[in-house]
Chain A
Amino acid sequence: MLKLAMERTGHGAALGFEITKVEKGEVELLFPYQVEVVGNPLTGVIHGGVIVSLLDTCCGSAAITILDSRVVTPTMDLRLDYMHPAEPFQPVYVSAKVYKHTANVIFCRGSAWQGDRDNPIAHCVATFMKVETSSISLSSVMTRQIKRLFRSKSAHLVKEDE
């Protein structure tokens, strides 16, 4: 589900990456080189913004894996350090892990590399909020109220019958 949602909607579909690993608190993906996202047309190196999107997606996906579906996780902040430029024409691998989560906040670390996993092109830290989806919480509140109303009405009816 997560794999399909990330790969096939909106910007994920436009970038064209493939999620290669999903475990609780850990996600990896593979991004094949694309000329459309070049940032330096003198060298063919992809734009840093693509690395931002890939790491944001990967960290966000890792954050989702530790939660149930009623919670959404908007990004609070994201910080990237670029250790060296990406090699042009080569795929980029991205991994992200949740290293701590509290009642309200999820802390993630991510890394992007090409040939050597221990020599990353960039790494990042990102934090996410845990937010109950308003539509779901609204409907659960409504459900509770309807049930309460129904119980009091039926009790009333039972009394009248007596």
Chain B
Amino acid sequence: MIESSASLQAKLANARALKDPQQLLDFIPYAAFIGAKAKVKDNSVIYCLDKRPSNIGNPSLPAVHGGVIGGFLELSASIEILYTAKVQAIPRVVDFSIDYLRPGRYRTIYASCEVLRQGRKLINVSVLAWQDNQSMPIATARCHFLIS
């Protein structure tokens, strides 16, 4: 299960060269656990979380678990850093904050990330999540990662 640093470097080079961030998600077991996917659209990355029973939080609505939405957004932010910022190691999360704006219905959730600032040590990423309509977000998150 433990991968080598060389295999991460190879995956990073390959994903950036082929413009295929999905290869980075495939490297991280937690991404498969929640079923997160990534694809490039108009030069930016869209992250998707398809509906699956193991992601349900409230079965009576049904709604996606708030913790899964949080985990998905944190994962998306770290993949965004690996894919777009010139870093060679998996970023370490320092803090994470999420505001839930609407319930996550039992449908696909989309997310997009924006790196707001990249310093030598620290990087700040903002994440937006939506379902049917990007102008009606279900959650917004921000996080800091250490990248050195």
Contact = CB atoms under 8 A, between A and B. Distances in A.
Interface of A: 9-14, 35-44, 46-50, 52-57, 60, 74-82, 85
14 contacts: A14-B33, A37-B29, A37-B33, A39-B29, A39-B90, A41-B28, A42-B5, A46-B30, A47-B74, A49-B30, A50-B30, A75-B100, A78-B66, A78-B98
A48 B74 contact: yes
Contacts of B105: none
Interface size bucket, B side? 35 or more
A42 B98 contact: no
B131 interface: no
Nearest to A38: B29
Interface string B67-93: 110111011001000000000001011
Contacts of A40: 28, 90
B2 interface: yes
Q: Is the interface of B mostly helix, strand, loop or mixed?
A: mixed
Contact of B55 (A11, A47, A56): A11
Contacts of A53: 65, 67-68, 70-71
Given A38-B28, A40-B90, A56 B70 contact: yes
A68 B97 CA distance: 28
A41 B67 contact: no
A46 B8 CA distance: 17
B125 to A, nearest CB: 13
A50 B34 CA distance: 10
B53 A10 contact: yes
B134 to A, nearest CB: 21
Given A57-B65, A77-B99, 9 more contacts: A10-B53, A14-B55, A37-B30, A43-B2, A47-B75, A53-B68, A53-B70, A77-B98, A81-B95
Interface of B: 1-5, 8, 27-30, 32-34, 53-59, 62, 65-68, 70-72, 74-75, 78, 90, 92-100, 103
Given A43-B2, A52-B70, A14 B54 contact: yes
A74 B1 contact: no
The 3 closest A-B pairs by CB, nearest first: A49-B71, A53-B67, A10-B56
A43 B3 CA distance: 8
Given A11-B67, A52-B71, A56-B67, A42 B90 contact: yes
Contacts of B98: 52, 77-79
B2 A42 contact: yes
B2 A44 contact: yes
